[in-house]
């Protein structure tokens, strides 16, 4: 005959096997994930900083653009000066004014334009960085929330476990009492059998099935 208590205890054991390890292992997995997320965020931030530096004043973007501008300016001034020489105006202040004229007529608008582009790109980079920082803040908030939830869950589990143990103890107590009752009943039955049994050889003893 199957022991009905065995089922109860097995149920608790199964409950342990299913719920308890999952909850307990979660912090470990969360830490790894956090580190991974942190690494990704740091990488993203570093990339953003690089982009920011490229578009910052004196950054690579301006250096590259300036180099291109200077190259174009040199070619243009050379062509203009050649034209001045051809037209005999090389020895005039008009010729000496060519570079200033280029700076005012072409350089200044170009600088405004390139500054506009630079500021736009820098703005985009800063916006991206801000977005990442905002994501980090959100993740931190989520992480805190998750940790809180986890803590609450842990507390709940602990409570549940306490309750479970208490229930088991109660059940164990009940089972003990039942056992005692059964033993008492068995004793009575034994006595009854002893009284009613054909005599058997002394020394022959019965056995009980082990409960656990």
Residues that bind another protein (CB under 8 A): 85-97, 100-101, 104-105
Cα(187)–Cα(182) distance, rounded to whole angstroms? Answer: 8
Nearer to another protein, 104 or 140 (CB): 104
The minimum distance between CB 130 and another protein, in angstroms, equals: 43
Minimum separation from the CB atom of position 79 to another protein (A): 12
In whole angstroms, what is the distance from residue 46 CA to residue 153 CA? 36
What radius of gyration, in Å, describes the C-alpha atoms of the chain? 44
Q: How far is the CB of 49 from another protein (least distance, A)?
A: 41
Residue 64 or 83: which CB sits closer to another protein? 83
Quick one: 36 or 87, whose CB is closer to another protein?
Answer: 87
How far apart are CB 99 and another protein at their closest, in Å?
Answer: 10
Tell the smallest beta-carbon distance from residue 76 to another protein (Å).
13
CA angle 201, 204, 206 (to 5 degrees): 140
Of the pair 70, 105, the CB lying nearest another protein is at 105
CB of 95 to another protein, least distance (A): 8
Angle at the Cα of 184 (from 183 to 187), degrees rounded to 5? Answer: 85
Which one, 20 or 81, has the nearer CB to another protein? 81
> How far apart are alpha carbons 55 and 172 in whole angstroms?
74
The CA distances from residue 164 to 11, 24, 34, 110, 154, in Å, are 11, 17, 33, 77, 14
Nearer to another protein, 97 or 162 (CB): 97
Question: What is the maximum alpha-carbon separation in the chain?
Answer: 149
CA 177 to chain centre: 52
């Amino acid at each position: 005959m199957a022991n009905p208590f065995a089922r109860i205890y097995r149920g608790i054991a199964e409950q342990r096997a299913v719920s308890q390890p999952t909850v307990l292992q979660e912090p470990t997995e969360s830490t790894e994930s956090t580190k991974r997320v942190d690494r990704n965020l740091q990488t993203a931030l570093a990339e953003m900083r690089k982009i920011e530096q490229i578009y910052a004043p004196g950054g690579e973007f301006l250096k590259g653009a300036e180099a291109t501008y200077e190259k174009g300016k040199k070619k243009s001034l050379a062509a203009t000066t050649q034209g001045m020489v051809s037209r005999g105006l090389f020895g005039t202040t008009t010729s000496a004014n060519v570079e200033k004229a280029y700076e005012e007529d072409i350089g200044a608008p170009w600088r405004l334009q390139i500054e506009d582009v630079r500021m736009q790109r820098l703005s985009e980079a800063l916006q991206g960085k801000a977005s990442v920082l905002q994501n980090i803040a959100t993740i931190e908030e989520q992480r805190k929330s998750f940790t809180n939830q986890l803590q609450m869950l842990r507390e709940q589990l602990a409570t549940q476990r306490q309750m479970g143990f208490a229930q088991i103890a109660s059940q164990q107590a009940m089972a003990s009492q039942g056992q005692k009752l059964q033993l008492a009943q068995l004793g009575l039955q034994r006595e009854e059998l002893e009284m009613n049994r054909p005599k058997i050889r002394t020394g022959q003893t019965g056995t009980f099935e082990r409960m656990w």
